[in-house]
Amino acid sequence: MKGPLSMAADDEIVKCAACGAKNRVAADRVQQDLQPVCGECGAALATHAHPVTVTDQTFERDVLQSKMPVLVDLWAPWCGPCRMLAPTLEAVAREKAGRLRVAKVNVDENPVTANRLGVQGIPTMILFKDGSEVDRIVGAVPKSTLLRRLEAVA
């Protein structure tokens, strides 16, 4: 049983960028795309400031049903360009937190999703908004190019 002060394993502590207060954010509220606010100053908290892992089983819920735009990175650990792109995606997740979610799908572990999306080469990044694909970027691109392509939705 989860009491008012206990934390679930997937809850996170988020530091408020405005006042520095630490806030417990319930993972189930973030998954519902509810915008958490700081308990001290009321400022919006930046959740999903890091890419989230999505699987064949969670793709529908985490991407297609998301109320927030989602940039899905289809990658594999053996792929050099994918590894080179990882720090860029971390930075984009931080910069766009609260406006865009960055998700990572390992194509070796989740072949159903990769096949369903027609991925023929990696890295492939697909931008979804309201459950529909709105852009597709194939190959490692500079951060500036990626941000320019995201401007329309986030």
Report mean pLDDT in 10-residue bins for the chain, 154 residues. Answer: 58 80 81 78 77 95 93 98 96 86 96 97 97 96 95 82
Question: What domain range includes position 57?
Answer: 52-150
Is the same domain home to 145 and 117? yes
Q: pTM for the full model?
A: 0.74
Dmax (CA) for the chain in angstroms is 48
Reduced DSSP (H G I as helix, E B as strand, rest coil) percent helix, strand, coil of the chain, to 5: 25, 25, 50
82 is catalytic: yes
Is the same domain home to 20 and 88? no
Q: Which of 110, 153, 106 is nearest to 132 (CA)?
A: 153
pLDDT attached to residue 97: 80
Is the same domain home to 123 and 66? yes
**CATH number reported for the structural domain that contains residue 25 in this entry:** 2.30.30.380
Question: 122: which DSSP letter?
Answer: S
Is the same domain home to 43 and 109? no
pLDDT attached to residue 17: 74
Is the same domain home to 41 and 58? no
79 is catalytic: yes
Rounded to an integer, what distance in angstroms lies between the CA atom of residue 55 and that of residue 53?
Answer: 7
Is the same domain home to 39 and 80? no
Is the same domain home to 6 and 73? no
pLDDT attached to residue 50: 82
Quote the number of domains for the chain: 2
